[in-house]
Amino acid sequence: DLEKFVREQPERNRLIWRAIETGINYFDTGNLDEAESLGLALKELRRDNVHLTLMILGLFGKMAEKPPSQWKDLIADDVDMKLKALNTKYADILMLLAPESNYSCERLTAALEVFCELKSQGKIGFIGASTHQPRFLAEVMRRYDCFDVVMVRYNYHLQEPRDEIFPLAKALEVGIVVMKPFAWPYYGIPFMRFGPVEGEEGPYTPAQTCIRWILESP
């Protein structure tokens, strides 16, 4: 609720400011309250070295409920609302979440047309897609070559993107953002399995072990 959101915002401010101090400068936002919270935290900071991603959630499902004549306004209004929440006029990446959900060629083509228009207006820098379905994403990338960046889950226990997305992204010059970098136990694995061999973490923390393994990937 609003009262709780306002009460807890100072603590979120401190976390975000501390993250920026330690060198974390990339933030993505999905729901509107995430954008509002980050926007409030960044309000008192300079934006110079902070990169922001805003996500469009459930877009094709929303498009399916409206006539094509309203699709452009649907997308533009969503982006404007989240930019306002972030207290900015520009987001580095506009990320289409789960393009496989309610997918159709017509909806994707129409959405990309609006994305490119927003890009030409200077509201976004790059166009991306985020998914848990790398095979579907790879097929869209091959067919349309329409994304500047893609976000996929990748860690020691989820290596599927390595064989399909990584070489394709390299060939098409598409950037990759890794989500789910930590091999947390909700994958049904022992909590301490962060890398290839249990017990080989050495002087590294679990977080460092996970990221170290990811960064050693081709």
Percent of the chain with pLDDT over 90: 66
Measured CA to CA in angstroms, residue 117 lies from 89, 127, 144, 179, 212 at distances of 15, 11, 17, 27, 38
As a whole number, mean pLDDT of residues 88-117 equals 96
pLDDT at position 7 over 70: yes
pLDDT of residue 185: 58
Phi and psi, residue 52, nearest 5°: -115, 140
pLDDT at position 216 over 90: no
As a whole number, mean pLDDT of residues 152-156 equals 90
CA distance 188 to 108: 34
pLDDT at position 206 over 80: no
Contacts of 44 (CB under 8 A, 6+ apart): none
pTM of the model: 0.87
Question: Which pair of tokens denotes residue 138?
Answer: 């790879």
pLDDT at position 157 over 90: no
| Closest C-alpha to 87, from 124, 41, 122 | 41
Return the amino acid letter for 8: E
